[in-house]
Amino acid sequence: MYKRQTITADTVIISTGATAKWLGLPSEQKYNGFGVSACAVCDGFFFKGQDVAIVGAGDTAAEEATYLAKLCKKVYMLVRRDEFRASKAMVHRVLNTPNIEVIYNSEAKEVLGNGKNVTGLKISNNKTGEEKDIEVEGFFVAIGHKPNTDIFKGWIDMDETGYLKTIPGTTKTNVEGVFAAGDVQDHYYRQAVTAAGSGCMAALDAERYLAAKEHHSEVVS
Ligand SMILES: Cc1cc2nc3c(=O)[nH]c(=O)nc-3n(C[C@H](O)[C@H](O)[C@H](O)COP(=O)(O)OP(=O)(O)OC[C@H]3O[C@@H](n4cnc5c(N)ncnc54)[C@H](O)[C@@H]3O)c2cc1C
């Protein structure tokens, strides 16, 4: 059994990441990685020339839909309300992309598959209750991410959505000696390579912090 213990450290790097939000459909989890994805930039390429659907109505969803439209034959965009949450500029881009079809007042009810891969999506109109199936090979969920920062609440400064705040150009947080790297402090890029880059920055920041502390204690003693 896991035993609770306290570990002390002279410096800490927080890299607890951010978790994609899912719709909560059992079929969504069944086909996660087999046609269902929460990252269009990462997985869009696998659906080159195919039909896909994306759910979401914010800026990220709009950006991901236009990204997918460059690769895929057709992109169905499911918007739960009768309007977007995204900025006007992003909505304009979506509505002016010929191979994106926006379906308002729609919700994904079930991801359809052949046991191996996604083959379609059952959607319903939340105003009329009407249901229909659309044929797609990929389904992208773009309804947001939740940074894994609950345990730092009240200790480390965060923005209104819970991402840790760092001093721009560094990985320093508001607490001396505590650094943050990766998706936990980056709601914008959220890529492995940017996470690794900021991880390297955090390691250097922590090393320099320790070296400066050591130097200070040598001078004082
Ligand atoms: C489906 C998918 C495909 C992707 N494909 C690509 C791709 O092709 N290319 C690319 O560049 N990026 C891709 N990404 C994004 C990439 O995975 C992330 O940007 C990257 O993993 C972020 O690294 P991280 O170390 O910040 O966080 P994570 O990799 O999320 O690691 C965080 C770790 O912290 C742990 N943790 C969380 N809370 C606690 C806690 N309280 N205590 C202890 N441990 C905790 C978690 O369990 C996890 O192990 C993809 C993401 C997804 C979801």
Closest atom of ligand 1 to CA, residue 33: 1
Distance 146 CA to ligand 1 centre (A): 12
CATH code of residue 102: 3.50.50.60
Distance 135 CA to ligand 1 centre (A): 30
Closest atom of ligand 1 to CA, residue 181: 26
Q: What counts of helices (H) and strands (E) characterise the chain?
A: 5, 12
Burial class (CB in 10 A: 0-12, 13-18, 19+), 33: exposed
Boundaries of domain holding 192: 12-18+146-220
Q: Are the C-beta atoms of residues 183 and 195 closer than 8 Å to each other?
A: yes
Residues with CB under 6 A from ligand 1: 15-17, 20, 37-39, 42-43, 148, 151, 182-184, 190-193, 195
| Other residues' Cβ atoms within 10 Å of the Cβ of residue 106 | 24
Q: Are the C-beta atoms of residues 206 and 11 closer than 8 Å to each other?
A: yes
Catalytic residue among 10, 42, 133, 159: 42
Residue 1: the pLDDT is 67
* 32 is a domain residue: yes
Residue 62: the pLDDT is 96
Distance 92 CA to ligand 1 centre (A): 31
Residue 217: the pLDDT is 73
Domain count, the chain: 2
The torsion angle over the Cα atoms of residues 18, 21, 25 and 26, rounded to 10 degrees, is 0
Ranges of beta strands (E only) in the chain are 12-14, 18-20, 36-37, 51-55, 74-78, 100-103, 106-113, 118-125, 131-135, 138-141, 145-147, 178-180
Output the six-digit token pair for 195. 């996470």
Domain boundary among 79, 111, 141: 141
Q: 126 and 83, same structural domain?
A: yes
Q: Please state the pTM of the whole predicted model.
A: 0.82
* 1 is a domain residue: no
The residues with which 213 forms a beta bridge, in sequence order, are none
Splitting the chain (221 residues) into consecutive groups of 10 residues, what average pLDDT does each group show?
Answer: 88 97 96 97 96 95 97 98 94 97 97 97 97 98 96 97 97 98 94 96 98 79 65
Q: If you search the block for the tokens 């199936």, which residue do you land on? A: 133
